[in-house]
Chain A
Amino acid sequence: MTVTVKTFTSSSEAAAALSSDRNARYLGGGTLVMRALNEGDISISTVVRANDHALTRIDPSGPRITLGAGVTFARILGERDLAFLHAPARSIGGPAVRNMGTVGGNLFAPNPYGDFTVALLALDATVALQGGFGSRDIPIEEFLQSRERQAGALVLSVSCTRPTNADAFRYRKIARIKPKGGSVITLAAHLPISGGRIAGARIALGSMAPTQIRARAAERALEGRALDAATVAAAASAAAEGTSPSDNALGSAWYRREIVGVHLRRLLLGQE
């Protein structure tokens, strides 16, 4: 099956082409769209690309960092200033996938993929979108909740605030195959400490719902408290609340609900 490939030099032209054709998909690194084409996905009739350098720009310094949608995981791993994102970037694929896969594409990756997005969700990232009628910034959580309806818009970049210290942001991917494998579950926690207490707790989970979600009950258990054993236990026991995991070849829904609290406890206590 052949498709029409449209390549543009600017992201706004690409966004216009994308929004005007229901059967158009944007091609970033290829790990999702080429895979769909190889599998004979007939819902794609047009592939849209953009060679806009703005899409591959990284602004790694300063308190707020911005990653162009076309930035690959290999490039993030090459940026010393982005050390807090190295664990999620390294947890994705093998070297070839990290050379190809992009930050923007990861926002659309279905389970058991999309690990980098779990990290971005815990960091309260903002997604910059270009639609047919201009651009807008939306919170990543809102983006994920309406992901299926975002197909006509082009993601330009993702930005987030750098954690105040290295210990405030934690990430863990549970996979059966090491060092590479799809996620059984993925966890990210952002725990800013103010005056000895957690202020603005964010716990994000992957493979615990159709899209990456926040564990709000666990966040409530942490908010305003010191990160002690009792608080961690309360957060761990609330971890599965509000989740709706599925069965797949890597694990059952039951297994995911059973282990999410265990791994959240280990993550919060800094245990292996």
Chain B
Amino acid sequence: MAKTALQFRHNGSDVAIFVDGGTNLLVALRELIGDMTPKFGCGQGGCGTCSVLIDGELHLSCLTLAETVAGRSVETLDSLKQGPNLHPLQRAFAENFAAQCGYCTPGMLMAAKALLDRNPSPSRAEIVEAISGNICRCTGYEPIINAILAASGGRVSA
């Protein structure tokens, strides 16, 4: 079957790939671009670990038809890296023990970034709401909520 040419911005760089009909954005990012930071969890929109920003808006890459991002900007967790320095959110996650197995972390960090980009000092309730589409099976969520609070300069509960 014919492939479709697709161009979009990936973490600030223009990329061009050929996708099969029906390919989702997660597969395009991981298998065609080689960006392994978004993870495959459920493929149903239930877990959030494939979360990416499309034109700054939080989306689930596994439920996004790849060709719908033509000409748009896609940011993955890989966009947070700044050479050897950790992004403030990454540092807060490390310092607050917000990652255990780490599988949910890419989605948690992108959901947190989507929140802080539009609301730099969220309340605890706003953080809970912002990560409500992301499932973590290890931490019990409290360290993650505390990490996002810490990254936003908020007061962290014990």
Contact = CB atoms under 8 A, between A and B. Distances in A.
Contact of A96 (B24, B60, B129): B60
Contacts of A2: 1, 20-23
B104 interface: no
B63 to A, nearest CB: 4
Contacts of A180: 132-133
A94 B133 contact: yes
B67 interface: yes
Interface stretch (A31-39, A131-139, A144-152, A218-226): A31-39
A93 to B, nearest CB: 6
Contacts of A4: 1, 21
A232 interface: no
Nearest to A178: B132
Interface in B53-88: 57-60, 62-65, 67-68
A168 B115 CA distance: 33
Interface string A1-17: 11111010000000000
B63 A99 contact: no
A96 B22 contact: no
B45 A97 contact: yes
B60 A37 contact: no
Contacts of A47: 21-22, 65
A100 to B, nearest CB: 6
A31 B45 contact: yes
A242 interface: no
B57 A99 contact: yes
Contact of A35 (B20, B21, B63): B63
- Taking residues whose C-beta sits less than 8 angstroms from the other chain, chain B's interface range is 20 to 34
Contacts of B64: 30, 34, 100
Interface string A77-97: 000000000000000011111
Contacts of B23: 2
Interface in B8-64: 20-24, 43-45, 48, 51, 57-60, 62-64
Contacts of A35: 43-45, 63
Which of under 10, 10 to 19, 20 to 34, or 35 or more describes the interface residues of A?
20 to 34
B145 interface: no
A192 B106 CA distance: 47
A195 interface: no
B45 A179 contact: no
Nearest to A95: B58
B116 interface: no
B100 to A, nearest CB: 20
B1 A31 contact: no
Given A2-B1, A5-B67, A38-B62, A95 B132 contact: yes
Interface of B: 1, 4, 20-24, 43-45, 48, 51, 57-60, 62-65, 67-68, 111, 114-115, 128-134
Given A34-B64, A94-B131, 14 more contacts: A2-B1, A4-B21, A7-B67, A27-B65, A35-B45, A37-B22, A38-B62, A39-B43, A95-B115, A95-B129, A96-B51, A96-B111, A100-B45, A179-B128
Interface of A: 1-5, 7, 27, 29-31, 34-35, 37-39, 47, 49, 74, 93-97, 99-100, 179-180
- Closest 10 A-B residue pairs measured CB to CB? A94-B133, A3-B22, A38-B43, A180-B132, A34-B63, A2-B20, A94-B132, A30-B63, A96-B58, A2-B21
